[in-house]
């Protein structure tokens, strides 16, 4: 009996190895990440749906998303550099040039920290006008927001290094310490400090995640001792890769912050709070996409640099992410009205319970689009920007102009603004439907681009001015 039990235990790792081989690294680690991080998502959902609405007053509840997204907005100058660093960390690791990878990681950490501190100074300079637009009078909130800016810039660099060095087991466990620390900090601080306590807890949890990833990377370098080497010969190539990313980052990173800021600034406090409750549940489709996207970029990049076909990974990630998201959208559309009636702190969303479908669709489309964009970046292809940028600009600028229409009435013909005035612009329904519709259009164009336009095999298809590095290093 004991021998049988031992054999059963030993059978588990063998079965896991066979399953990993059958699924491939993308789906094996994505499944692990999805399973492990669901605990983190449940904790985050508990914080966002239970603790925050309970302890933060309704009048301030609508500030949570605009401030968090505002942190992402002011971090834009660093985002394109982080994306470039991730690509070339992967390239250097793939070519076993760990000395260059070390130097690049060091420079990336130093530069994003320095730039984020400059952003914090700018944030302090514009603090009064920011607080007026958010209808707040607590300067300490912006102080904690500045600390979050620094951490928000450093954390992606370390996460990129983990993926590039293929420390996937660490990536799977990467978020758990931060989430657990976040829960403990929220329980300790929300009841006492309310909104300020929320951002203090965010800061503490970000520090925990940075500590875990930093220790893992240092351990990796200790196991592979390699002196740092200059990567100056790649600067011109890195600049050409970063240039389209500047356009992509500037266009995409402003969408959600502007939308959430407009909801807070232009709509009532009740609508702003309802938006928080609805979007807390609607973002769940991003959990599906996040589990796939976390490993998609390094695996596609590795295959592309070796001249291998990447289309299968793209198709699989798009299909799985979209189907899971649409399934959850259908479920939440049905149960959403019952959900918001389940707790008193959620009932601020009862008048808007019919709107669940729109933000859930939006985040489903966004998750799938993210998979496509990551694939293109990994393959150094940027032709998608020809349609991505115009659609995104019209979505963001159109919403901003329509909701701030009163400022433009004096310079436009009366017939024009009378026509626009007929639209129910200053409502939560308009904002959510507008954004979901544009993301739907972008999603359809992405599908056409991914499945119809690119008929040639990736081995024969040239990238946008770049060649797979295996061709350059084959003779080395």
Give residue 8's pLDDT band: very low, low, confident or very high (50, 70, 90).
Answer: very low
Cβ–Cβ under 8 Å, residues 241 and 466 = yes
**CA dist list (Å): 474 to 12, 114, 307, 400, 470:** 40, 38, 11, 51, 6
pLDDT of residue 84: 83
Convert the pLDDT of each residue in 264-288 to its tens digit. 888 888 899 999 999 988 988 777 6
Convert the pLDDT of each residue in 190-248 to its tens digit. 988 888 899 899 888 888 888 888 888 888 888 877 788 888 888 888 888 888 887 88
Given a cut of 90, whether residue 95 has pLDDT beyond it is no
What is the percent of the chain with per-residue pLDDT over 90, rounded to a whole number? 14
Q: Which residue has the tokens 């056409």?
A: 448
Structure-block tokens of residue 229: 């080497």
Query: What's the number of CA atoms in the CB half-sphere (13 Å) around residue 226?
Result: 17
Cα dihedral across residues 115, 118, 120, 123: positive or negative: negative
Distance CA 288, CA 202 (A): 22
pLDDT of residue 473: 40
pLDDT of residue 116: 78
For residues 405, 409, 415, 421, the Cα torsion angle rounded to the nearest 10 degrees is 30
The average pLDDT across 370-392 equals: 89
Q: Of the spans 58-72, 98-112, 300-314, which averages the highest pLDDT?
A: 98-112
pLDDT of residue 147: 83
The average pLDDT across 294-305 equals: 76
How many residues comprise the chain?
476
pLDDT of residue 459: 45
Convert the pLDDT of each residue in 128-171 to its tens digit. 887 887 777 777 787 788 788 788 778 888 887 887 777 766 66
Q: Which residue has the tokens 């061709």?
A: 471
Distance CA 337, CA 331 (A): 11
Cα dihedral across residues 51, 57, 62, 68: positive or negative: negative
Structure-block tokens of residue 22: 């059958």
pLDDT of residue 365: 94
Cβ–Cβ under 8 Å, residues 233 and 473 = no
pLDDT of residue 87: 79
Q: Of the spans 9-13, 26-30, 310-314, which averages the highest pLDDT?
A: 310-314
Structure-block tokens of residue 44: 């985050």
pLDDT of residue 3: 47
pLDDT of residue 364: 92
Structure-block tokens of residue 422: 């007929």
**CA dist list (Å): 315 to 226, 323, 377:** 37, 12, 16
Task: Provide, for the chain, the percentages of residues in helix, strand and coil under a 3-state DSSP scheme, each rounded to the nearest 5.
Answer: 85, 0, 15
For residue 427, give the DSSP letter: S
**CA dist list (Å): 346 to 55, 199, 286:** 12, 21, 21
pTM value?
0.75
Structure-block tokens of residue 255: 């969408």
The average pLDDT across 173-184 equals: 75
Given a cut of 50, whether residue 28 has pLDDT beyond it is yes
Q: Of the spans 34-38, 65-69, 419-423, which averages the highest pLDDT?
A: 65-69
pLDDT of residue 14: 62
Give residue 362's pLDDT band: very low, low, confident or very high (50, 70, 90).
Answer: very high
The ranges assigned to domains in the chain are 24-455
Given a cut of 50, whether residue 470 has pLDDT beyond it is no
Convert the pLDDT of each residue in 430-456 to its tens digit. 999 999 999 999 999 988 887 665 555
The average pLDDT across 45-73 equals: 83
Structure-block tokens of residue 96: 């076993």
Cα dihedral across residues 363, 322, 179, 340: positive or negative: positive
The average pLDDT across 411-438 equals: 79
Give every CB contact of residue 217 below 8 A, 6+ residues apart in sequence.
105, 158, 161, 162, 165, 167
The average pLDDT across 320-325 equals: 88
């Amino acid at each position: 009996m004991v021998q049988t039990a031992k054999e059963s235990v030993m059978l588990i790792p063998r079965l896991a190895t066979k399953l990993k081989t059958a699924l491939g690294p993308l789906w094996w680690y994505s499944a692990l990440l999805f399973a492990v991080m669901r605990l983190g998502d449940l904790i985050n959902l508990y914080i966002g749906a239970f603790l925050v609405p309970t302890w933060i007053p309704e009048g301030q509840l609508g500030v949570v998303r605009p401030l968090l997204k505002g942190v992402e907005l002011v971090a834009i100058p660093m985002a394109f550099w982080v994306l470039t660093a991730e690509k070339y960390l992967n390239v250097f690791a793939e070519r076993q040039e760990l000395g260059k990878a070390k130097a690049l990681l060091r420079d990336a950490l130093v530069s994003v920290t320095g730039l984020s501190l400059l952003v914090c100074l700018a944030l302090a300079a514009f603090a009064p006008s920011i607080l007026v637009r958010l209808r707040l009078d607590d300067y300490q909130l912006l102080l904690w927001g500045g600390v979050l800016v620094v951490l928000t810039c450093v954390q992606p660099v370390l996460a990129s290094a983990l993926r590039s060095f293929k420390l996937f087991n660490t990536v799977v466990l990467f978020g758990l310490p931060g989430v657990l620390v976040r829960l403990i900090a929220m329980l300790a601080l929300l009841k006492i400090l309310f909104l300020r306590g929320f951002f203090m807890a965010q800061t503490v949890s970000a520090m925990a995640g940075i500590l875990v990833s930093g220790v893992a990377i240092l351990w990796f370098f200790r196991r592979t001792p390699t002196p740092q080497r200059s990567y100056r010969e790649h600067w011109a190539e890195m600049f050409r890769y970063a240039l389209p990313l500047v356009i992509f980052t500037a266009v995409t990173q402003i969408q959600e912050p502007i939308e959430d800021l407009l909801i807070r600034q232009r709509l009532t406090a009740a609508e702003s709070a309802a938006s928080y409750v609805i979007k807390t549940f609607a973002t769940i489709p991003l959990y599906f996409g996040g589990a796939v996207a976390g490993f998609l970029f390094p695996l596609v990049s590795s295959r592309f640099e070796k001249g291998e076909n990447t289309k299968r990974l793209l198709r699989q990630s798009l299909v799985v992410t979209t189907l899971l998201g649409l399934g959850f959208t259908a479920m939440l559309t049905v149960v959403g009205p019952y959900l918001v009636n389940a707790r008193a702190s959620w009932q601020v969303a009862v008048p808007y319970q019919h709107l669940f479908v729109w933000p859930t669709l939006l985040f489903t489309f966004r998750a799938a689009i993210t998979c496509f964009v990551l694939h293109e970046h990994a393959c150094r292809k940027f032709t998608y920007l020809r349609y991505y940028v115009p659609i995104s600009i019209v979505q963001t600028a159109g919403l901003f102009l329509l909701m701030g229409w009163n400022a433009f009435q004096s310079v436009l013909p009366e017939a024009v603004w009378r026509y626009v005035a007929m639209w129910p612009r200053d409502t939560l329904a308009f904002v959510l439907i507008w954004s979901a519709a544009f993301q739907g259009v972008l999603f359809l164009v992405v599908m056409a681009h991914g499945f119809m336009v690119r008929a040639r095999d990736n081995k024969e298809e040239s990238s946008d001015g770049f060649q797979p590095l295996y061709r350059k290093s084959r003779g080395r």
